[in-house]
């Protein structure tokens, strides 16, 4: 068991096995994807300064730990804005429409459950 875990760990850590998605609004290094784990995926994502993303995940929940930058998230259900800064954690449930605004480059570690494939971009309604 130990060797298998070590082997898998080394494979996942190799950036050549990660998916690095770059768009006009953000970059996202998909470090752990459905290929390695069906329960959750981990993405290291940076939304660029002054970008606004309208999002609503139809099949996933998302947990995000902000590690750099400043921004805000608007929750359409509660009609409230919440400040995002380093050491902030937020959770978005399945089908929760939300808007992310990056006041500076905003970097977070995103955990999706269930896991995402990692090679898909958001569609018109901000979902996968």
The number of distinct structural domains making up the chain is 1
Q: What is the CATH number of the domain that holds 59?
A: 2.60.120.10
Q: Residue 103: CB partners within 8 Å, gap ≥ 6?
A: 49, 50, 69, 70, 71, 72
pTM of the predicted protein model: 0.81
Boundaries of domain holding 26: 18-113
Q: Quick one: pLDDT band at residue 121, thresholds 50, 70, 90? A: low
**Residue 3 covered by a domain:** no
Q: Is residue 13 part of a domain?
A: no
Looking at residue 38, its pLDDT comes to 87
Q: Does an H or E element contain 20, and which?
A: strand 19-22
Whether 2 maps to a domain, the answer reads no
pLDDT (tens digit per residue) in 9-32? 555 555 556 788 899 999 999 988
pLDDT the model gives residue 51:
98
**pLDDT (0 to 100) of residue 14:** 57
Beta bridge partners of 109: 44, 65
């Amino acid at each position: 068991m130990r060797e298998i875990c070590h082997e898998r760990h080394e494979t996942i850590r190799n950036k050549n096995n990660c998916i690095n998605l770059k768009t006009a609004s953000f970059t996202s290094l998909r470090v752990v994807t459905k290929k390695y784990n069906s329960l959750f995926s981990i993405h290291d994502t940076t939304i660029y300064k002054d970008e606004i993303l309208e999002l609503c995940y139809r099949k996933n929940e998302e947990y995000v730990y902000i590690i750099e930058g400043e921004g805000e998230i608007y929750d359409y259900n509660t009609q409230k804005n919440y400040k995002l800064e380093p050491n902030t954690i937020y959770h978005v449930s399945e089908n929760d429409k939300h808007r992310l605004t990056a006041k500076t480059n905003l970097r977070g570690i995103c955990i999706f459950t269930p896991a995402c494939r990692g090679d898909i971009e958001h569609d018109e309604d901000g979902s996968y």
